[in-house]
Amino acid sequence: MGFTAVVGDNGVYPESRVLIIITGGTICMQPLPDGSGLAPVDGFLENAMAPRPSFNDRSEKVKLSAIKDGEKVLLDSLRTPPSSYSRHVRYSALEFSPLLDSSSISSDGWTQIATTIKANYHLYDGFVVLHGTDSLAYSASALSFMMEDLGKPVILTGSQASIFALQSDAVDNLLGSLIIAGTFVIPEVCLFFHHTLFRGNRTTKVSASQFQAFDSPNCAPLAKVTSIGVDVNWALIERTTKIAQFQVTPYLDTTHVACVRIFPGIKPEMVDFVLRVPDLKGLILETFGMGNAPAGLDGSLTKAIRSAVERGIIVINVSQCTNGFVSPLYAPGYALGKAGVVFGQDLTTEAALTKLSYLLALNIEPAEVAARMSKSLRGELTELATPAFAHPAGPEDLSSALSGAEAAFTLLGYAIAKGNLQAVKDLLEGDQVGHQLLKRADYAGNTAMHLAAVGPNKDILKELLLRGASVHERNRANNTPLFLAVKMGKQDFVDLLEVAGAMLWEEEKKETAAKN
């Protein structure tokens, strides 16, 4: 399920480009000269990464373009040695000034990160965000909702110890994030920590000091880094299923939401007081177990919540447990549901809070906000309506399933070449190992999107896009599907790809301009 390594022709390896956005955090801190603690320092690329061979192959220095605060700038870049996937990753670092303290981050900080990625989206293959660990899960969740129709990897990471410390997890976390962002088209906001790539909006911090500081209790990891490479669980990867360009909602309404944790003996007046905070629009209620809370004397707590719901306040029920989901199985949870409380399924508190803030920022009706809170927008929750069945082949049979996928990809390529839309649909419907066919490539690195971009039937290209195929995949020659369509003069194909967010890279622009 990992990316298949290939040997570069004549020792020349393709390059991908990644922008590292440095917001602050322990990872870039150094001890103060007076011994009064750690503080963030500037010049991370030069001081922390350039001296390390795993981050710097000592190749010719190249300046990369970037957009900072609306202005075009040229940034120094470094390049990794070729990975086991026969690819270099060239990267630049854009530092926020001042660097942010993650415990003090707010929606303004999330806006700064999101708009920086949006401004540089056409210049880089992927993005790595260095961030403090205290609020890392909140930021990953927030960014996942702010970014819609994402087509490239955005990976947040940090460390428990500074990269300048003798014993640190910083190098592994940063290098792993960099390689994944520059090698795999995983179009999600992710969190990478301790050799594991998580869906960002499923994570929570589980340790204040251990290197294995984050977990995703209700969602399996998207990828694991091992001694033999990166094993990507492609079946889990979320993809946009509409033809649209990447966009950012630049604001989250965190000023009108609150979070209350239920505890034994809590007074209903306490909850009611919070629910009567002026201009409050939403409350995250952390309840016991599967969504239970004390009703209060004569049902006073339930009455306070029902009154708030009637006033238009949205109350979301999430579990205090790290694993499992809320359900009206028991009487206390059922009573909350009858009072108008929305069951947040297996949402983490971090995801529930940021998702509610995102929906409130859209200025939609409270009823619509409540409805969307129980629906998966970015893979943040497990919808109970999802059919409960699995692929009949167990893990021990995956190798044979992959062999079948290879044969199926050959048939898919033939169907695309013949313009047979129905055959393409049939093959994709039978793709029982997730999105394997959309990720497979031929001997030249061409995915189904590359083949469809030069095929005879535009409807096949549209079908692939609607099924989540990426317009940003590159083949062995480092070319995108859009470049191939331009090269073949297929203007209607070009128009469709551009509507879906495709763009030519600088090298492709130069080549097409030279031929014209």
| Catalytic (active-site) positions | 26
The CA distance from 124 to 121, in Å, is 6
**Tokens at 459, concatenated:** 């409807």
**Tokens at 233, concatenated:** 């669980």
> Phi/psi at 114 (nearest 5 deg)?
-65, -45
- Residue found by looking up tokens 């039978």 in the block: 430
The CA distance from 313 to 431, in Å, is 43
- Amino acid at site 258: A
Q: What is each CA distance from 268 to 279, 330, 467, in whole angstroms?
A: 20, 20, 48
CB-based contact 358:145 (threshold 8 Å)? yes
The CA distance from 453 to 409, in Å, is 16
Helix (H) or strand (E) holding 492: helix 491-499
- Amino acid at site 276: R
- Residue found by looking up tokens 């640190």 in the block: 168
476 class by beta-carbon count within 10 Å (0-12 exposed, 13-18 middle, 19+ buried): middle
**Tokens at 22, concatenated:** 């440095």
